[in-house]
């Protein structure tokens, strides 16, 4: 697989992560881009609410969702879960692939609002801080997530996504 075509969840699984199993779950996917991965997840999950901020990618997401009833597109800001909150069913999984300096807080705000059982946070070190080593950024992200949830695993997404990790967290209080 080439680096450009491997999504964060696929890179996580390829790197030996425990895996992502959405079967029978409702999923909120933050940073869904054009919706290719969200649509694939929706075919396995009960439903996927896919949030994308970019109007250009959001248009592709909306078009893709027209052919798939279990994919609910939202062109909006993941920082504003109250805007799409009424569309979220009882949530099983939260997935976030948002390249922003406050990506960890966005993830935790959405988790606090929607109470998922498990969350998958793709941390992009260079989006958070270009002036610190990625390991420091990852350590701080892990510490911050651990304040709110049980961190299940942290998996490097190299070589597919340089300076990225996937943090998997259980929000139901269960230990890994």
The string of pLDDT tens digits covering residues 68-83 is 999 999 999 999 999 9
Give residue 31's pLDDT: 97
Q: For residue 173, which of 159, 144, 152 has the smallest C-alpha distance?
A: 152
Give the separation between CA 104 and CA 109, rounded to whole angstroms. 9
Give residue 2's pLDDT: 41
DSSP summary character for residue 81:
H
pLDDT at 62 over 70: yes
All structural domains of the chain, each given as residue ranges with its CATH number in brackets, are: 3-169 (3.40.50.150)
Q: Which residues contact 173 (CB under 8 A, 6 or more apart)?
A: 150
Give the separation between CA 123 and CA 112, rounded to whole angstroms. 18
For 56, the 3-state DSSP assignment is: helix
Helix (H) and strand (E) counts for the chain? 7, 7
pLDDT at 111 over 80: yes
Residue 47, Cβ density class (10 Å: 0-12 exposed, 13-18 middle, ≥19 buried): buried
Give residue 174's pLDDT: 45
Q: Which pair of tokens denotes residue 167?
A: 């943090």
Q: How confident is the model at residue 172 (pLDDT cuts 50, 70, 90)?
A: confident
The region of weakest confidence among 51-60, 142-151, 164-173 is: 164-173
φ/ψ (deg, to 5) at 140? -65, -40
Give the separation between CA 45 and CA 63, rounded to whole angstroms. 20
């Amino acid at each position: 697989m080439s680096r450009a075509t491997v999504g964060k969840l696929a890179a996580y699984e390829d790197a030996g992560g425990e895996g992502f199993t959405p079967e029978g779950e409702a999923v909120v996917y933050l940073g869904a881009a054009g919706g290719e991965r969200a649509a694939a997840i929706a075919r396995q999950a009960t439903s996927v609410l896919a949030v994308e901020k970019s109007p250009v990618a959001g248009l592709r997401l909306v078009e893709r969702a027209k052919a798939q009833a279990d994919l609910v597109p939202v062109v909006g800001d993941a920082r504003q879960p109250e805007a799409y909150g009424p569309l979220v069913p009882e949530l099983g999984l939260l997935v976030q692939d948002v390249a922003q300096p406050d990506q960890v807080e966005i993830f935790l705000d959405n988790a606090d609002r929607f109470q998922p059982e498990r969350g998958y946070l793709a941390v992009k070190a260079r989006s958070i801080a270009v002036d610190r080593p990625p390991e420091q950024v990852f350590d701080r992200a892990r510490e911050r997530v651990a304040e709110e949830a049980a961190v299940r695993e942290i998996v490097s997404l190299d070589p597919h996504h340089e300076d990225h990790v996937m943090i998997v967290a259980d929000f139901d209080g269960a230990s890994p």
